[in-house]
Structure 1
Amino acid sequence: MSTRVNPIAERSKKWLCDALLELLQEKPYNSITITEICDKAELVRKTFYRHFTSKHSILIAIIDLKFEEFYELIKNENIEPDEMPLAYFKYWEQHKIFLNILIQNQLFALLNDQFVVYLEAMAHIVGNKHANLSEIEKEYMRTMLAAGLWSILKKWMIRGCIESPEEMARMTLIFFDV
């Protein structure tokens, strides 16, 4: 059974996500209200609550969209496991304004939580190097990889992306022995 997507609902969700991102460039996350998000998106609160439960849920939706975009990129370009770190840093370099907003608002940790989910979803793309691990070992490995990638990305952002994506990918391949 296929699920039909309501284009109006999807547009409303996008407008709410865009509104929060615009507001985050103007003021701190903790100062933004749902009313302001709705006003910026030119939607009523009822529409907001039809799609989201809180500001936090919008941020998770934005992060999920970024990861889905990255997933599509690596899938469509047939990126091999050893090319993944370069694709990762090039992708996030294009979204550094968003990452810096998360850092400034002490929200960067949200990425780590979603990394674990997406590493599991991408297991078939990343490769079978660790196929012999038990399920619990794979779970711990994903947790470790997610935290490592998250920490490296944060350090790179804080340093102003001085190193090139190529240099970051080279170091990551060494660190994770991919």
Structure 2
Amino acid sequence: MSTRVNPIEERSKKWLCNAMLELLQDKPYNNITIIELCNKAGLVRKTFYRHFISKASVIIAVIDLMFVEFNEYIHDQNIGPLQMPLAYFTYWEQHKFFLDILIENQLFSLLNDQYVLYLEAMDHIIGSKIMDLSELERDYMRTMVAGGLWSMLKKWVVRGCTESPEEMAQMTLIFLL
């Protein structure tokens, strides 16, 4: 059974995500109300609650949209495991404003929470090494890699992205291989 995407629902979700990003540029996350978010998106609260359970779920939706964008890029460019770290840091360098917002609002942990799910979806790209592991070992490996990438990304952003994406990718490969 296939699930059909309702374009109006997707548009409403996207409007709420964009409204959240716009509001976060002007005020702290904790000061943003759902009513304010809905007003900025031009939608009613009922529509918000049809798609989301909280403000944090909007941030997670933004992160998910970014993952879809990144995943499409690596698929279209046929990026393999050894090129993945460079693609990763190059992508996040282009979205540094979003990472800064997450850090400033103590929301960066939401990114880590999603990483394990993303890595599972990317098992086929990560390489054959993961295929030789049991499901339990794969789960722990994804958790370890997700935490490591998340921590490196946060440190890099806090340091002002002074190292190039190429330098970050090189360090990542050294650490993981």
Q: Compute the TM-score of the two structures, normalised by the length of structure 1.
A: 0.97
The residue aligned with 2:35 is 35
* Equivalent runs, 1:125-136 vs 2, <5 Å: 125-136=125-136
TM superposition shift of 1:3: 2.3
Contact 2:156 2:162 in 1 (8 A): yes
Q: Which residue of 2 aligns with 1:156?
A: 156
Amino acid at match of 1:121: A
Task: Please state how far the C-alpha of 1:50 moved relative to its aligned partner.
Answer: 1.1
Task: For residue 88 of structure 1, report the CA deviation from its aligned partner.
Answer: 0.2
Corresponding residue number in structure 2 for 1:58 = 58
User: Is 2:100 the partner of 1:100?
Assistant: yes
- Superposed CA deviations along residues 78-120 of structure 1, whole A, max 9, x for unmatched, are 0011000000000011110000000000110111110011001
Give the distance between the partners of 2:90 and 2:153, measured in 1 at CA. Answer: 11
Q: Residue 9 of structure 1: CA displacement?
A: 1.2
Please say if residues 29 and 105 of structure 2, whose CA atoms lie closer than 8 Å, have aligned partners that are also in contact. Answer: yes
What SS does the aligned partner of 1:162 have? coil
Is contact 2:16–2:38 with CA below 8 Å preserved after alignment? yes
Segments of 4+ in structure 1 off by > 4 A?
A: none
SS in 2 for 1:82: coil
**What residue identity is the alignment partner of 1:17?**
C
CA distance in 1, matches of 2:100, 2:161: 11
Deviations 1:127-162 (A, max 9, x none): 112322111111111100000000000000001011
1:81-96 maps to which residues of 2 (within 5 A)?
81-96=81-96
Q: Which amino acid aligns with 1:153?
A: L
Paired residue for 2:171? 171
Task: Give aligned pairs, total.
Answer: 177
Give the corresponding residue for 2:114: 114
Gaps of 5+ in 1: none
State the 1:2 CA deviation: 3.0
Measured on the aligned residues, the alpha-carbon RMSD in Å equals: 0.8
Question: Relative to structure 2, which stretch is displaced further, 79-88 or 134-143?
Answer: 134-143
TM-score (norm 2): 0.97
